[in-house]
Amino acid sequence: MIIYAATTVGSVGGGYISSQLIKRGWPTIKARKTALLLFAVVELSVLLVQFTTKAWVAVGLLSLVVAVHQAWATNVFTLSSDMFPKQVVSSVVGIGGMAGAVGGILFPMLIGWLLDSYKAAGRLGAGYNLLFTICGFTYLFALCIIHLLTRNLKPVVIQQN
């Protein structure tokens, strides 16, 4: 229940942070990417989970990172409506959702293979540590991709037939 409550806080808080930057006069895309950078850095705290032996510390850290994940998702979905005309936003979000679904299929397969490999080597704990490391750095990697794709952003124009 604690972790699910944290996702709610993250959803609302993620939108609030970027909205406050926009209200202060920041360009919309810059405000969203700055919020994403903040969330990507905080998400690195997932790396600490592998070092804790206390269940409540793990719950606290995981609650923080799922809240940050929701804050991230809030801003990523909003980026689509910031960058594309309203006629194509649903298609853009749908394509992104499809890519996420494919990732949701492939990532568990990677996890299974990775943990099986480490278990066979008698080092299962090291496999989990690697997974937490991958998860922590994924957001920074994704932000780099977002930045590369949006650094020379030009308005998308839809031609009417």
pLDDT band at 1 (very low <50, low <70, confident <90, very high): confident
Q: Provide CB contacts within 8 A for 153, sequence distance 6+.
A: 29, 83
Domain contains 130: yes
Q: Provide CB contacts within 8 A for 69, sequence distance 6+.
A: 7, 10, 43
- Condensed to tens digits (0 to 9), the pLDDT of residues 24-60 reads 999 999 999 999 999 999 999 999 998 999 999 999 9
Supply the range of the domain harboring residue 14. 2-150
- Condensed to tens digits (0 to 9), the pLDDT of residues 130-142 reads 999 999 999 999 9
Domain contains 57: yes
What's the number of domains the chain is made of? Answer: 1
Domain contains 159: no
DSSP category for residue 151? T
State yes or no: pLDDT of 161 exceeds 70: no
Domain contains 158: no
pLDDT band at 156 (very low <50, low <70, confident <90, very high): low
